[in-house]
Structure 1
Amino acid sequence: MEKQSISIKKVTILAGAFCAYMIGSGFSTGQEVLQFFSVYGVAKGIISTLVYAAITIWLIYTLYGTGQKMQFSNPYDVFEYYCGKYIGKFYTWYSVVLLYGIYVVMLAGAGATINQYFGIPAYIGGYGVAILALLTALLGVEKLINIIGVIGPIKIVFMIVVGVSAFITMASQPNLLSENSALIQTVGFQQASGNWLWSGILYAFLGLVFGNAFFVMNGQTAKNLREARLGGVIGAIALAGAVILLIIAENVYLDVIEGQQVPTLAIANHISPALGLIFALIIVLCIYSAVSSILQVVTRNFAVDKTKKFNILATVLTVVGMFGGMVLPFDKMVNLLYVIAAYSGIVLTGFMIYKEFINKNAFPFRKSNDENKDVDVAV
């Protein structure tokens, strides 16, 4: 078999697109990492992250590969491919509703962030991000991935800056990390789960349901399986590294983040007011890239991108989201959606394992763009 060639540029873009999609408002503000990992202390948080990374790497490797090999006309077809017609349709609609709900609350988060730091009315900030996201989604999936694929590494670089600053602080205060690691569990931060290991597992399955269709769509743009899988795996490893750096930073700067809604912004301001300004902009950039991706993925369930139907639906969904995002409670809705998504992801993974390892011929998929021919491609 001839060895598949890869493009380093394309692999980097695929990895960056994964990071850009996953680092939305929850991650970029530091709240996700705080509640899922940091609150349990450094040692438990890092071990939990490694468990999360192991699960995520397999999921991404599989889904990027499935997307590249199957070339679904609709990325949501991946649910029918793994779960069969009826359960697949349920997951499709469940995923659409879930993603759109997250899209709406992310717009609310964008407005709140812009208002908090820049003093601009929340509705103007939310509307601005919504319109930019719409314009990006209308460019089509290839352009979208190229754009957010550049944004992803920028986010990772900032996490590295925060992590390096934490290490410098630790050098002058050797006992700070261990002391704060024990103290952080008593401060009263919200926890995603009562068990640190289960928290990491839930975070992996949350990512699965949140990004399933996008991962498939992302993999489709690669020219071969090797390129798709490599881009996905590198992205997953980079994200796990960013999580670990943020766990260390949030423990080191415990006194800085205590009582703060946006821990990363508080840390950035503590390091340097100029860095705080830059990170406020990065948070908005994080939300913009995630919102653009979600809008593209949700609309793709109803229409092919860059068509008149797609453009109309994307515009309508944007307008509804703009107004909905100004009235819905950001934090409560996100928490509710994330918990439900994580548990539903466990069930979905069971179907994936069954098809990948037990019965590759289960749920034969009928491709709508191939003269309704039954196909079952092993990934």
Structure 2
Amino acid sequence: MRGFREIARIAAAFVGIIVGAGFASGQEIVQFFSSFGITGLAGVAFSTILFTLFAAALSGLGHHFNAASHKDALYAISGYPASVFLDALITIFMLAVLVIMFAGGSALVEQLSGVPAIWGALLITAISVLIVWLGLQKLITIICCVTPLMVLLVVIVASTAFPGMTDSAGAMERAALKLPAASNHWFLASVLYVSFNIVAGAPFLIIMGSRATSRRVALRGGMLGGILLGLLMLLLAASFYVRASEIAEVPLPSLYLAMRASPVFGFLMAFVIFASILNTAVGVLCSFAARLSETSPSRFRPASAVGAALAFGGSLLGFTQLINKIYPFFGYLGLVLMVWILFAWFRFRPWRATGTQECEAPNAAL
């Protein structure tokens, strides 16, 4: 029972990280899956397989190397200078994710209240910096608890999207194909979606895996997380597909469908989306500032302020446009990380390792 609880905790934590960065708003699912029509659902299935594989690999490698940070595992996987490139990729992508989180928060405020997006961006920027500066860990713990609520709301929203459909199958397909797409082909889009999410989730999964009590727990936790994520993606993608004609101009489709189902569900979904975005924003901002101030902890607050200011400026470009440009771009770059993960997976074969300290220290691995 204890082992299952630990597996479930790793899986839920992984889903929580990806929910904020990858699909809380619904816009990501629309552009990477629903926009390809019925074949986009095949992309969801393929992405689920990739998520399951790479989440298990990262968690297992983290446990194998007993990594204190993602840098330790990256160096052990790729050595120098490749690890420098991968570390820089992850660090820059953290800032890009922060830009999109601030833009998502501003879009949420604008869609709910009609207030100009700049005020929503200022709100989430100020809250994120305040939490990071004050170290309000209890608040972050509370925010993390919204993940089960998000799962429940996705199920409810999906169950209300299908009844009362008036469009024919052909009309739904035509409407879906008119939605903004992140790529020219569903297969490439599904790979890119996994790629940028793996870049975002790699540091977290590595650390979670290193703290697991056994390699079996680390591997199964990652696998379960990938499967759960895939099921949620499928529910949302199918819901957006059947309502494609209604969500074409909507920045946050998840919120739209929730409001369509019930004002109460809409309010809860707005809270969950904001909390998920804030959770990811705070975690990314904290990691970004910690990485920049690694050699001088006294620079942590200035680094977080600079990161937040840069992200605020970038967020004003618009939520939908940012997702359409930034995520595919880093998805292509993230393919490099995916190749290295597969290389390390077959080279070190963590599924065969025994014990808790299963290899040499990372700086001596290569």
**TM-score higher than 0.5:** yes
1:54 aligns with 2:45: no
Cα 1:327/1:254, change in 2 over 3 Å = closer
1:17 aligns with 2:8: no
> Is the partner of 2:81 in helix, strand or coil?
helix
Task: Identify which range, 222-231 or 262-271, moves more after superposition.
Answer: 222-231
Would you say the 8 A contact 2:44–2:234 is kept in 1?
yes
The TM-score with structure 1 as length reference comes to: 0.81
User: Where in structure 2 are there 5+ consecutive unaligned residues?
Assistant: 351-359
State the partner residue of 1:195: 185
Cα 1:300/1:7, change in 2 over 3 Å = farther
**One-letter identity of the residue aligned with 2:158:** G
> Is the partner of 2:70 in helix, strand or coil?
coil
Supply the distance in 2 between the matched residues of 1:140 and 1:68 (Cα, whole angstroms): 27
Cα 1:120/1:181, change in 2 over 3 Å = closer
State the partner residue of 1:28: 24
Would you say the 8 A contact 1:156–1:239 is kept in 2?
no
1:99 aligns with 2:94: yes
State the partner residue of 1:129: 124
Supply the distance in 2 between the matched residues of 1:325 and 1:301 (Cα, whole angstroms): 20
What do the CA deviations read for 1:126-182 (whole angstroms, capped 9, x no partner)? Answer: 333234434555687986884454222222211111111124346xx6xx5734443
Compute the RMSD of aligned alpha carbons. 3.2
State the partner residue of 1:341: 330
C-alpha deviation, 1:231, in angstroms:
2.6
Would you say the 8 A contact 2:151–2:232 is kept in 1?
yes
> Is the partner of 1:85 in helix, strand or coil?
coil
C-alpha deviation, 1:85, in angstroms:
1.1
Cα 1:35/1:194, change in 2 over 3 Å = same
State the partner residue of 1:244: 234
C-alpha deviation, 1:348, in angstroms:
2.1
State the partner residue of 2:284: 294
**One-letter identity of the residue aligned with 2:55:** I
1:183 aligns with 2:174: yes
Supply the distance in 2 between the matched residues of 1:58 and 1:45 (Cα, whole angstroms): 20
User: Where in structure 1 are there 5+ consecutive unaligned residues?
Assistant: 362-369
Would you say the 8 A contact 2:153–2:265 is kept in 1?
no
Aligned partner (choices 34, 37, 43) of residue 33 of structure 2: 37
Supply the distance in 2 between the matched residues of 1:222 and 1:204 (Cα, whole angstroms): 23
Cα 1:319/1:344, change in 2 over 3 Å = closer
Supply the distance in 1 between the matched residues of 2:190 and 2:96 (Cα, whole angstroms): 23
Aligned partner (choices 346, 350, 355) of residue 339 of structure 2: 350
Aligned ranges 1:90-239 → 2 under 5 Å: 90-120=85-115, 122-137=117-132, 146-147=141-142, 149-169=144-164, 176=167, 178-186=169-177, 188-239=178-229
Percentage identity across paired residues of the two chains: 25
What do the CA deviations read for 1:39-95 (whole angstroms, capped 9, x no partner)? Answer: 2223x2222111111111111001112223323333233322222210110111122
Supply the distance in 2 between the matched residues of 1:352 and 1:60 (Cα, whole angstroms): 10
Would you say the 8 A contact 2:62–2:206 is kept in 1?
yes
> Is the partner of 1:292 in helix, strand or coil?
helix
Would you say the 8 A contact 2:175–2:244 is kept in 1?
yes
Would you say the 8 A contact 1:145–1:218 is kept in 2?
no
Cα 1:199/1:89, change in 2 over 3 Å = same
Aligned ranges 1:321-336 → 2 under 5 Å: 321-322=311-312, 324-325=313-314, 327-336=316-325
Would you say the 8 A contact 1:15–1:236 is kept in 2?
yes
Supply the distance in 2 between the matched residues of 1:373 and 1:92 (Cα, whole angstroms): 15
The TM-score with structure 2 as length reference comes to: 0.84
State the partner residue of 1:364: none
Supply the distance in 2 between the matched residues of 1:13 and 1:358 (Cα, whole angstroms): 28
Cα 1:117/1:61, change in 2 over 3 Å = same
